[in-house]
């Protein structure tokens, strides 16, 4: 049975630790421990493997609460869970499979608290290393040899296992599990980022890394990430994180002195839009018939978190520009949603918004 979690207390604990994590160039142990102590690392794992097996609606509420307290923590958890989403479908097919299998990893994550993360941006949206950032060569035993790089891997230096993929010569792709201690796996030092440095996002190289047939999660096939076999995508989860970050800024605006600015109308407008986007997100999760798509929700969530955090910074004036103030941190962190796994149509729409170019009349969010 899933444990009961006090989301307000979880948000508060993460908020208390978030500022320090933003200012140090080190793994945010306190943030990670808060999530671990609240059972967040096993929320997604099915009960058959010892996890909580939470439904997606409940998970969305929890992602929002975590992101409200600390986007760094939410980002790390999102990558942990993105990896889990790729291995859970395979584990459920054969929950009794042996060492090195998806089921074996799930049980170890629950029992031992092992870290897992994902490095598939080279198969989706990243242009850092090109279309063939990671090549996959078939082996005679049914496994593959990986050669290349995973450009953006969160928590790489603390991971025990990576979910990644490579491209075969014929253009087909494969998704697989790669233990961090496998020969040829090299974790580079994290590059400094504009925000979320505590996520320890690094490039991971694979120099002739060999994976066995039990470590193959999906493929070879074209566009392996979009296949049901690969566990689908987590785009709505990123929108939930944006809602959490926006909520933190909106709540902070509510606490500002109304005599300094006429805040009532802006706060009301932002809060109303927040409610609308969350309802749209949950409608999609619940498969309620609607013209709104996940990309539309992502676009609206991106725009809202940008405006809400900028509004909070403006209301805080000079105080908000201090590194000790959360307003500047939230404003920097909001940039994350425009560059991290942002689908091209969403990025294009954002560019049009920034340029003041009107939408096409058919757009349901116009």
| Domain identity same for 189 and 244 | no
Model pLDDT, residue 9 = 95
Task: Give the mean pLDDT of 13-28.
Answer: 87
- Least Cα distance to 81 among 50, 100, 48, 54 occurs for 54
Could you tell me if 204 and 341 lie in one domain? no
Residue 125: pLDDT band with limits 50, 70, 90: low
Cα(177)–Cα(84) distance, integer angstroms: 11
* 168 in Cβ contact with 223 (< 8 Å): no
Domains: count for the chain:
2
pLDDT band at residue 131 under the 50/70/90 scheme: low
Flag whether 74 is in a domain.
yes
Average model confidence (pLDDT) for the chain?
A: 87
Residue 11 pLDDT > 50, yes or no? yes
- Range list of H helices, 147-293: 235-254, 264-285
Angle 7-23/29-37 helices, nearest 10 degrees? Answer: 170
Last residue within a domain, chosen from 204, 230, 256: 230
What CATH number should be reported for the domain holding residue 310? 1.20.140.10
Q: Which of 41-50, 170-179, 261-270 has the lowest mean pLDDT?
A: 261-270
Q: Phi-psi category of 175—alpha, beta or left, where left has phi over 0 and alpha has psi -120 to 50?
A: beta
Indicate the pTM of the whole model: 0.89
240 and 225, same structural domain? no
Higher pLDDT, 83 or 263: 83
* CATH number of the CATH domain containing 94: 2.40.110.10
Give me the pLDDT at residue 284, please.
93
Using a 10 angstrom Cβ sphere, with 0-12 exposed, 13-18 middle and 19 or more buried, the burial of residue 330 is: buried
Within a domain: residue 364?
Answer: no
- Measured between alpha carbons, how far is 35 from 24 in angstroms, rounded to an integer? 19
pLDDT at 112 over 70: yes
Q: Does residue 335 belong to any structural domain of this protein?
A: yes
Q: Give tens-digit pLDDT for 240-276.
A: 999 999 999 999 999 887 767 788 889 999 999 999 9
- Bridge-based pairing state of the strands 161-167 and 173-179: antiparallel
Confidence class of residue 351 from pLDDT cuts 50, 70 and 90? confident
288 has a pLDDT exceeding 70: yes
Examine the domain organization and report whether 124 and 148 are in the same domain.
yes
Asked which of 230, 250, 271 is the last residue of a domain, the reply is 230
Residue 132, domain extent:
7-230
Render pLDDT for 317-336 as a digit per residue (tens, 0 to 9): 888 888 889 999 999 999 99
pLDDT at 232 over 60: no
- Beta partners for 178? 162
Q: What is the pLDDT of residues 51-75, one digit of tens each?
A: 999 999 999 999 999 999 999 999 9
pLDDT classification of 78: cutoffs 50, 70, 90? very high
- Single residue among 230, 257, 275 that ends a domain in this structure: 230
Residue pair 266/250 in contact (Cβ under 8 Å)? The answer is no
């Amino acid at each position: 049975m899933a444990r009961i979690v006090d989301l307000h207390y979880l948000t508060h604990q993460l908020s208390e630790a978030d500022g320090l994590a933003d200012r140090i160039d080190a793994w945010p142990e306190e943030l990670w421990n808060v999530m671990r102590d609240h059972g967040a690392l096993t929320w997604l794992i099915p009960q058959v493997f010892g996890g909580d097996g939470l439904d997606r609606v409940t998970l969305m509420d929890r992602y929002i609460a975590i992101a409200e307290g600390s986007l760094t923590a939410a980002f790390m958890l999102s990558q942990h869970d993105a990896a889990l989403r790729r291995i859970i479908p395979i584990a459920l097919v054969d929950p009794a499979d042996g060492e090195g299998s998806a089921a074996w990893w799930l049980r170890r994550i629950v029992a031992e608290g092992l870290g897992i993360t994902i490095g598939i941006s080279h198969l989706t949206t990243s242009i850092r290393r090109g279309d063939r950032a990671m090549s996959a060569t078939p082996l005679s035993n049914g496994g593959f040899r990986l050669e290349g790089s995973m450009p953006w891997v969160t928590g790489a230096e603390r991971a025990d296992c990576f979910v990644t993929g490579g491209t075969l010569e014929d253009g087909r792709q494969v998704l697989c599990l790669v233990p961090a201690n496998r020969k040829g796996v090299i974790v580079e030092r994290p590059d400094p980022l504009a925000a979320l440095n505590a996520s320890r996002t690094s490039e991971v190289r694979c120099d002739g890394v060999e994976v066995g047939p039990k470590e193959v999660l999906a493929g070879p096939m074209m566009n392996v990430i979009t296949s049901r076999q690969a566990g689908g995508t987590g785009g709505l989860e990123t929108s939930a994180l944006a809602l959490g970050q926006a909520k933190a800024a909106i709540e902070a605006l509510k606490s500002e002195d109304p005599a300094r600015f006429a805040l009532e109308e802006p706060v009301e407008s932002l809060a109303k839009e927040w409610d609308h986007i969350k309802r749209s997100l949950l409608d999609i999760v619940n498969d309620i018939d609607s013209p709104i798509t996940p990309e539309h929700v992502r676009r609206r969530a991106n725009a809202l978190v940008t405006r809400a955090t900028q509004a909070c910074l403006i209301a805080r004036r000079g105080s908000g520009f201090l590194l000790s103030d959360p307003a500047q941190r939230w404003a920097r962190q909001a940039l994350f949603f425009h560059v991290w796994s942002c689908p091209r149509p969403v990025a294009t729409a954002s560019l049009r918004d920034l340029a003041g170019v009107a939408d096409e009349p058919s757009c349901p969010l116009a």
